[in-house]
Chains A and B, each alone.
Chain A
Amino acid sequence: QLQLQESGPGLVKPSETLSLTCTVSGDSINSNTYYWGWIRQSPGKGLELIGNIHYSGNTYYNPSLKSRVTISMDTSQKQFSLKLMSVTAADTAVYYCARHRVTGGAGMGYDYWGQGTLVTVSS
């Protein structure tokens, strides 16, 4: 059974960099059929895609966050990571990592999610 687990600081100061890691267990991270994503949910709000990464190294970032975001992958550790620079209170949210599956060349959506981790931006 695939499991994803987010880890990282729960409190980040304004203007600093938010760093989170997602550890994947139970399946391969370097498969051509998966994209790995970060999605966030501000308190009481909806879902916002931050970006995706493929094991080939291809990345996609939400244009609204692109100037501040880096997503990377360490296949040997079965981990992928998020860095969000210059954070403000507006970046306070639950951050989820998730897997987007592609089957028969067609995407299926995010079929597995981590439990999420709350990151608060405050001094």
Chain B
Amino acid sequence: DIVLTQSPDSLAVSLGERATINCKSSQSVLYSSNNKYYLSWYQQRPGQPPKLLIYWASTRKSGVPDRFSGSGSGTDFTLTISSLQAEDVAVYYCQQYYSSTWTFGQGTKVEIK
């Protein structure tokens, strides 16, 4: 199975400041036939189901605020919240759907400092 390791496990950021979450894959998730990374990012607020934010590593889902951005290549990926808002307090997960067994990272908890 592809293992996704997120860092840090938690972080506290002041309102309006940048939050950066990393996701490292144990192997490539690049689908060579279409040159797309099969990696998504989700936000899970307390008591809520996960919500898709980013797919193909860097494509923002329609309706997601543009302060959320995804980047990365190879086996290293990043979710950035450019200016943290109170409603962004949540656990964030990366997920790969490249291999036959789709897996999630362990999650990163984002809090307000």
- Point out residues on A near B: beta carbons under 8 Å: 46-49, 52, 60, 62-63, 96, 98, 100, 104-111, 113-116
**CB closest chain-B residue, reference A6:** B49
Choose from B36, B40, B100 the contact partner of A60 (Cβ within 8 Å): B100
- Name, among B49, B50, B51, B106, the residue most crowded by chain A CB atoms within 10 Å (CB to CB): B49
Known A-B contacts A60-B100, A63-B101; A111 and B38 likewise in contact (beta carbons under 8 Å): no
Ranked nearest first, the 7 interchain pairs of A and B with the lowest CB-CB distance are A109-B40, A113-B49, A47-B104, A108-B55, A109-B55, A49-B102, A111-B52
**In the complex, per-residue mask of B40-54: 1 if CB is within 8 Å of any chain A CB, else 0:** 101000001111100
Looking at chain B's contact residues, is the secondary structure mostly helix, strand, loop, or mixed? loop
- Point out residues on B near A: beta carbons under 8 Å: 31, 34, 36, 38, 40, 42, 48-52, 55-56, 61, 93, 95, 97, 100-107
Within 8 Å CB of B51, what residues of A?
113
- Name, among B38, B97, B102, B104, the residue most crowded by chain A CB atoms within 10 Å (CB to CB): B102
Contact check, B50 vs A113: say whether CB atoms are below 8 A apart: yes
Contact check, A109 vs B49: say whether CB atoms are below 8 A apart: no
- Name, among B51, B97, B100, the residue most crowded by chain A CB atoms within 10 Å (CB to CB): B97
Within 8 Å CB of A116, what residues of B?
49
- Listed A/B pairs (8) with beta-carbon separation below 8 Å: A47-B104, A63-B101, A98-B49, A100-B97, A106-B38, A108-B52, A110-B50, A111-B61
**CB closest chain-A residue, reference B97:** A107
Within 8 Å CB of A62, what residues of B?
101
- Give complex CA distance A60, B102 in Å: 10
Contact check, A109 vs B97: say whether CB atoms are below 8 A apart: yes
